[in-house]
Amino acid sequence: MLASFAILATSCNNSRDNSSSRATGWDLSGRDGGVSFKTDYEEQEAGPGLLFVEGGTFTMGRVQDDVMHDWNNTPTQQHVQSFYIDETEVTNVMYLEYLDWLKQVFPPSEERYKNIYAGALPDTLVWRNPLGFNENMVNNYLRHPAFHTYPVVGVNWIQATEFSQWRTDRVNEKRLSDKGYTSRDAYKNSSADNVFSTETYLNAPSKVYGGSDSITRGGRETDRKLRNNPDSTNVYVQRKDGELLPAYRLPTEAEWEYAALGQSSLRDYNSYRGRKKYPWDGQYTRSGDRKTIGDQRANFKQGQGDYGGIAGWSDDGADITAEVRSYEPNDYGLYDMAGNVSEWVADVYRPRVDNEYNDFNYFRGNVYTKNAITEDGKVKVLTADEVIYDTLSNGRIMARNIPGEIAQTSIGDQETYLRTQFSKSDNINFRDGDKSSSRYYGEQGDTKKDEEMYNSPDNEVTLKDGKIDRRYDDSTKRTTLIDDHVRVYKGGSWKDREYWLDPAQRRYFPQDMATDDIGFRNAMSKVGSKSNKGRRTRN
């Protein structure tokens, strides 16, 4: 009898309205004026250009013989959470959209804005070679329509990161407009003092769009925020509404390598243990399929002086970069995860990836920050006069934020006191670079660089009275180029040999420099369930 009653009670409970709390029985829909939560959320939507990659375990690193003896990618077993990643590399036309937006919103003709646009421009001179005639690419590759669907190059890691932030804000701004939470034309009428920022909207919605609730268009005032929207649980959209997407960002090295391997169709022992050599199946770069037999599967350098094979025969279809989607995708539907251009990832480079440090979502480069708070207890939203500029190692000036964004500050002792996971804001050198393991530990030197793990050159570039002051480190004691400002890039490019097509290969380059063979693609974290099968949340 008791068992029957338990079954009946369970059945009744499961059949209840999903808007009722299992904790208190209260209504969570907000219909009765009480607390409101999203009770019908299903799954995260993929942002524009992104494909879903279900997470899992894989062998990260090179299992095959390390013929170059770099010993910088020893295999480790890692687990990656589900995420989204761009189907293709970011193209020239995608980046041009970013540049045109910056030029319209922050006119470079105005002195205080000129470095915002100039700092975002790709370096088209990366194509030049003292013994090569490449002026065609210098003049045309970025802007000519013939190259619109080619991957953008000449973009450094910092620029790629700033593009990702811009993309996040523009996508979420349009989502709010499309769903009726802001006026239809809000995202088309930005200006320097009227910019949308996702984080500002979530943390200080009254300050978004420069604190203006409305715009004037054609002599008529248009409401920016649609109040009392029946589909919203608040006047403003909040994070709990689930309407705004997580940030576009650069993928971590582990995410990129996992996505490039494309192991979704393989369940044998060799694939699980990292025996897959390329993003495609097999041990060769040429196709074995009946319809495409003999064709190259990627755009890479086939030999000395051979960037595309003989004309009309044995040709990979490109000498420099190729249009995205020119070759077959991997099992996840991702194009050019080997060849075409190498790609920036988020990680700071270190020669060793040790799974004893962390085997879940491995990433080196965490610098934890928090929103800056003013004296009146509100978040500090940057104005046009508060933009912070960095002078890069090559003397280039870049804006690290734009007006309308929330100022960030390092976390302090209040956030780290007695925490077991982390003890400081900057964790780039966590368990790496301690004095006792330094090559020069105990020696007397003229700088503290002699006691650091990575004894890299310490060049100084400063801007004084509008002139760049460059001071080169000419010390003979420097032994490496590795420091906290070099980033990992992955995948082979159009100018690399077959060896570099292996997704496990890893190289590094200064984060403020660019080349003609490094591009990037964006990723986005997956919130909720690991799979993407439309599961509904339960309260």
More confident residue, 85 or 533: 85
| Distances, alpha carbon 330 to alpha carbons 46, 261, 489, in Å | 19, 8, 19
Rounded Cα–Cα distance for residues 107 and 481 (Å): 37
The number of beta carbons lying within 10 Å of the beta carbon of residue 251 is: 29
Q: How confident is the model at residue 452 (pLDDT cuts 50, 70, 90)?
A: low
Pick the more confident residue, 519 or 44: 519
Higher pLDDT pick, 458 / 102: 102
Domain containing residue 194: 50-365+490-525
* The total number of structural domains that make up the chain: 1
Q: What is the pTM of this model?
A: 0.88
Is residue 525 exposed (0-12), middle (13-18) or buried (19+ Cβ within 10 Å)? middle
Tens of pLDDT, residue by residue over 217-256, are: 444 444 444 443 445 455 688 888 888 999 999 999 999 9
Query: Which has the minimum average pLDDT: 135-144, 172-181, 336-345, 462-471?
Result: 462-471
Among the ranges given (330-344, 363-377, 443-457), the one the predictor scored with the smallest mean pLDDT: 443-457
Alpha helices, H only, 38-113: 92-105
107 within some domain: yes
85 domain-assigned: yes
List the structure tokens of 297. Answer: 């599967």
- Here the tokens at position 529 are 């369930």
Nearest in space to 141 (alpha carbons), one of 132, 150, 133: 150
Q: Give the C-alpha separation, 84 to 89, whole Å.
A: 13
Could you tell me if residue 371 is inside a domain?
A: no
Q: What percent of the chain has pLDDT over 90?
A: 42
Indicate whether 64 belongs to any domain.
Answer: yes
Pairing mode, if any, of strands 518-519 and 342-348?
A: parallel
In a domain, 442, yes or no: no
Burial of 7 (0-12, 13-18, 19+ CB in 10 A): exposed
Beta-carbon contacts of 193 under 8 Å, excluding residues fewer than 6 positions away, are: 210, 383, 384, 403
Q: Which two tokens stand for residue 531?
A: 């799979």
| CATH number of the CATH domain containing 174 | 3.90.1580.10
- What are the pLDDT digits (tens) for 271-287? 455 567 888 877 888 88
Residue 76 near residue 60 (C-beta atoms within 8 A): yes
Tell whether 16 is covered by a domain: no
Structure tokens at 536: 């509904």
Distance CA 504, CA 276 (A): 10
**Average pLDDT of the segment spanning 453-470:** 77
Helix or strand holding residue 4 (H, E): helix 2-14
Q: Which two tokens stand for residue 58?
A: 């894989």
The pLDDT mean for the chain works out to: 82
Task: Name the residue among 121, 82, 518, 73 with its Cα closest to residue 336.
Answer: 518
CB-CB contact of 341 with 501 (8 Å): no
Q: Contact at 8 Å (CB) between 335 and 87?
A: yes
Q: Which residues pair with 426 in a beta bridge?
A: 367
Q: How far apart are CA 86 and CA 62, in angstroms?
A: 24
In a domain, 15, yes or no: no
Residue-wise pLDDT tens digits, 90-127: 999 999 999 999 999 999 999 889 899 999 999 999 99
Q: Please check whether residue 17 lies inside any domain of the structure.
A: no
> For residue 504, which of 515, 488, 517 has the smallest C-alpha distance?
488
Distance CA 204, CA 226 (A): 16
The H or E element that residue 7 is part of is: helix 2-14
